[in-house]
Amino acid sequence: MPRAAKPVLLLLPGLMCDAGIWREQIAALAAAHDVRVPDFFALDSIEAMAAAALAMAEGPLDVAGHSMGGRVAMQMAVMAPERLDRIALMDTGAHPVVEGEAEKRQALLDIGDRLGMDGVVSAWLPPMVAPDALNDAALMDDLEQLVRRADVGVLKRQTRALLGRADGFAQLKAIRCPAAFIVGDQDVWSPPEQHRQMQALVPGSTLTVIADCGHMAPAERPEAVTEALLQWLAQA
């Protein structure tokens, strides 16, 4: 008999990130899964990103989203719930736009306009990792190169998308497939307590808090993230 096709696993990147944020997970999971990573650089709405991800394959999908990618995954669960076999949400959030958020995001755009990606990397990246990670030269070099593959135009489009996002709490309540929440214990942008609140809205979901890890979990603690994803993928 012909061998069954591998299940399709979509790994959705976050703000200013591409497939590089998932490099270690792609290598670890590709033997058993058809791993695909969408490119969101040209898109400026969460809905368009979700549509682009859904168009990458036909049939059922396992979907894991990091940061902004988690917002996209939740949108996919609303747009095509019958397509998602599993959903994993990592270092992300569900709250709608809060007071003052637009101004804070505009401040980073202003830095980009004045100083280009050098300024963006210097201002945005350090708070995204655990404090100890700042001393890991190889990791920080990888992350800086990752962010520099974007440009200020990408940041502007994706900021527009995030400021136009839907209420994720309502989207979470619609999830009926096996769901996992994964977060670094030192993620100050999307902290563990936020993920506990999100998990409470999805019956039967799991929560994994990764030690010594900030917001950029797939790169900071790749082995722990891969193990959490393997456990999620094994859920019935």
Residue-wise pLDDT tens digits, 142-198: 999 999 999 999 999 999 999 999 999 999 998 999 999 999 999 999 999 999 999
- In this predicted structure, the answer to whether residue 9 has a pLDDT above a threshold of 60 is yes
Mean pLDDT over each residue of the chain, to the nearest integer: 96
Task: Give residue 1's pLDDT.
Answer: 35
Task: Give residue 5's pLDDT.
Answer: 84
Burial of 79 per CB tally in 10 Å (0-12, 13-18, 19+): middle
6-21 mean pLDDT: 98
- In this predicted structure, the answer to whether residue 45 has a pLDDT above a threshold of 80 is yes
- In this predicted structure, the answer to whether residue 25 has a pLDDT above a threshold of 60 is yes
In contact, 207 and 199? CB cutoff 8 Å: yes
Residue-wise pLDDT tens digits, 73-105: 999 999 999 999 999 999 999 999 999 999 999
The amino acid at residue 109 is L
In contact, 4 and 28? CB cutoff 8 Å: no
Please give the Cα distance from 65 to 69 (Å, whole number): 4
33-45 mean pLDDT: 98
Task: Give residue 4's pLDDT.
Answer: 52
- In this predicted structure, the answer to whether residue 60 has a pLDDT above a threshold of 90 is yes
Residues near 148 by beta carbon (within 8 Å), at least 6 away in sequence: 117, 121
Please give the Cα distance from 214 to 200 (Å, whole number): 22
Closest CA to 97 of 163, 39, 186: 163
Please give the Cα distance from 42 to 5 (Å, whole number): 30
Task: Give residue 236's pLDDT.
Answer: 72
- In this predicted structure, the answer to whether residue 64 has a pLDDT above a threshold of 90 is yes
Task: Give residue 2's pLDDT.
Answer: 42
In contact, 142 and 228? CB cutoff 8 Å: no
114-128 mean pLDDT: 98
In contact, 208 and 181? CB cutoff 8 Å: yes
Residue with tokens 């399709």: 8
- In this predicted structure, the answer to whether residue 52 has a pLDDT above a threshold of 60 is yes
Q: Which residues of 3-34 are buried (b: 16+ CB within 10 A; e: fewer)?
A: eeeebbbbbbbbbbbbbbbbbebbebbeeebe
Angle at which helices 137-148 and 101-124 cross, to 10°: 120
Q: Where are the beta strands (DSSP E) in the chain?
A: 8-12, 34-36, 61-66, 84-90, 179-184, 206-210
